[in-house]
Structure 1
Amino acid sequence: MANSIPAPRAEGLHYLGLRDDIARRIATGLLGPGDRLPAERRLQADLGIARGTIREGLFQLEAEGAIYRRDRSGWYVSPPPVVYDPTRWEGFISYVEAQGRRPATETISAELIVADPLLAGVFGRPVGAPLYRIRRRRYVDDRAVLVERIVIDAALAPDLLSHSLDQSLTDILKSVYGLSVARNQVSMRPCALTGEDAAALGVKSGLPGLHVQRLSHDAGGRVIEFDHEYWRHDAVRIDVDIRVR
């Protein structure tokens, strides 16, 4: 593993110089996905530049998605992103496994709530109608990549919370309740990961992310799920295959 960065060839290396040097090593394969970078103190000693300057360079690479930080462990080269096609209806587990990666799901919270005016309008239900709200953290190759908030009409899936929600929710809804998605409305926008979402993903608050909102309908037009996903910006790549007829 290439885990050393030699001293700069000229004095006065600023943070962009450090950024460019590490980026070049990643691009040429000297540093590969999952490789750990030298500790900040090691870089400071080897390069003879201020700790703040080193952090500026590392933060720049993090913002670009080239590296990421693990709590109390250091900086690592980012793995390849998961490819996501929002025009296809596949559960997270299915499309991650299809790419040769290891998916996992962790349920953070699951509760019964009542519909406020906004959710009542989304689901076409009266205010006060029972809904399930589920919050989960999802992993690829043991790395947390997204946090999702899912709201489901409790009338369509009674006793849903008695099931293990660490497995595929799509499979539970289909096999237990006979609910299949026939139509998805998906919107995506860049966002900043903040608050509990940043904490759940172990990233610095304010790091760029991708917000995916999904409204899933069955064949009869009923809304089954209303989802909000908050992805690490370096963990996903959007690919769409459009066929022109």
Structure 2
Amino acid sequence: MMAASTTDAKDHALSSTTAGWVKPRSPTDAYTYLDVRDLIARHIAHGELPHGARLPSERQMQTATGAARGTVRAALFQLEAEGLIYRRNRSGWYVAPPPIVYDPTRWESFMTYVAAQGREPRTEALDMRTCAATAELAGIFGVAEGAPLFEIRRRRYIDERAALVETIFVDPRLAPGLLDHDLNGSLTGVLSGHYGIDVVRNRVEMSPCALTQREADALRVRSGLPGLLIKRISYDAKGRVVEYDHEYWLHDALKVTVDIRLGN
């Protein structure tokens, strides 16, 4: 019987355990980081490593493939940058879940559109305070520089994975006492239900970014990873700015989709 080729061996080397892993036959057949990356990516694509599955440990992958630890780590970091896997602190590497679909032309709260897609949303307030308006904020809200604004910083989860961290500014003249409310849920619901303020228009800007240390720490990931920055200015029916929001998303947690209907 003809022996399996090195390529075939590598193609079958990865499984959810290391039982099916095959070491290279000689140092010249050693795995490169792209070999390891391709193995994991193929098994994810074929459903053999489903969403949420835990990958073997780095040591297990190193032992099973014969690759150097640095090679294995380079492959994992590459897959992380591509959004195929993510790391949980002190727990290991996991296959990334499907991204949430976001349509910026529709106004729905995070809690609403995440739940509507069969996922579990959660919001955690990190810090709430009154701050002085910078020149930029003063221009957005139409107030004097140094005027008080509410600043709310929150972390938001999808299926218990931190997916974004946001900073929201609100004019206290529209919502006095806002910081006394429970903001571990829908801010939209509080503004509408308690203050009678409804958003009728949004201005949304989206741009790719690299997560700085502050955002990365809040999301429990490495700094420098790619992210998506969404800036949103929300207006009520009178044209007043209701809130100004900066959202830093994990790049693999969100997929932007817009349904555009063209006239005949």
- Same fold flag (TM > 0.5): yes
Selected match of 2:212 from 169, 188, 194: 194
List gaps (5 residues or longer) in structure 1.
Answer: none
Structure 2 counterpart of 1:128, from 139, 146, 156: 146
Q: Which residue of 2 aligns with 1:32?
A: 50
Q: Which one is further off, 4-13 or 151-160? A: 4-13
The one-letter code matched in structure 2 to 1:208 is P
Q: How far apart are the structure 2 equivalents of 1:3 and 1:115?
A: 54
User: What do you get for the CA RMSD once the two structures are aligned?
Assistant: 1.2
Which residue matches 1:15?
33
Instruction: Please show how residues 172-191 of structure 1 align to structure 2 within 5 Å.
Output: 172-191=190-209
Q: Find out whether 1:161 has 2:174 as its counterpart.
A: no
In 2, the alpha carbon distance for the partners of 1:127 and 1:140 equals: 36
Provide the rounded CA distance (Å) in 2 between the counterparts of 1:151 and 1:164: 16
C-alpha contact 1:185 1:216 (8 A) present in aligned 2: yes
Q: Distance in 1 between the 2:205 and 2:115 partners?
A: 24
Give runs of ≥4 in structure 1 deviating > 4 Å: none
Separation (CA, whole Å) in 2 of partners of 1:8 and 1:183: 58
Q: Measure how far apart 1:194 and its partner are.
A: 1.4
Look up the match of 1:170.
188
Cα deviations across residues 171-202 of structure 1 (Å, max 9, x unaligned)?
Answer: 00001111111110001000001111101111
Structure-2 separation of matches of 1:193 and 1:116: 23
Percentage of identical aligned residues: 57
Q: Deviations over 1:76-96 (max 9, x none)?
A: 000011000011000000000
Checking the alignment, whether the CA contact within 8 Å between 1:130 and 1:155 is kept in structure 2 is: no
| 2:24 and 2:30 in contact (8 A); partners too | no
Q: Is the 8 A contact 1:113 1:131 kept in 2?
A: yes
**Of 205, 211, 215, which aligns to 2:233?**
215
Look up the equivalent residue of 2:82 and give its one-letter code. E
| Higher RCO (CA-CA < 8 Å; seq separation 6+) | 1
Equivalents in 2 of 1:130, 1:220: separation in Å? 21
- List aligned pairs for 1:1-245, cutoff 5 A: 2-4=16-18, 6-8=21-23, 11-245=29-263
Q: Tell me, in whole angstroms, the C-alpha distance in 1 between the residues paired with 2:257 and 2:77.
A: 27
Q: TM-score, normalised by structure 1?
A: 0.97
Deviation (angstroms), 1:8: 4.8
1:9 CA displacement: 5.4
Normalized against structure 2, the TM-score is what?
A: 0.91
**Secondary structure at the counterpart of residue 146 of structure 1:** strand
SS of the aligned residue for 2:214 comes to: helix
Q: Secondary structure at the match of 1:147?
A: strand
Checking the alignment, whether the CA contact within 8 Å between 1:3 and 1:31 is kept in structure 2 is no
* Contact persistence 2:16–2:56 (CA under 8 A): no
Q: CA deviation at 1:2?
A: 2.5
Deviation string, structure 1 residues 12-52 (Cα, Å, up to 9, x no partner): 11000000000000000100001000000111111111100
Inter-partner Cα distance in structure 2 for 1:112 and 1:228: 17
Q: Aligned pairs, how many?
A: 245
The answer to which of 122-131 and 151-160 deviates more is 122-131
- Give 1:69 deviation, angstroms: 0.3
Q: Distance in 2 between matches of 1:116 and 1:21?
A: 50
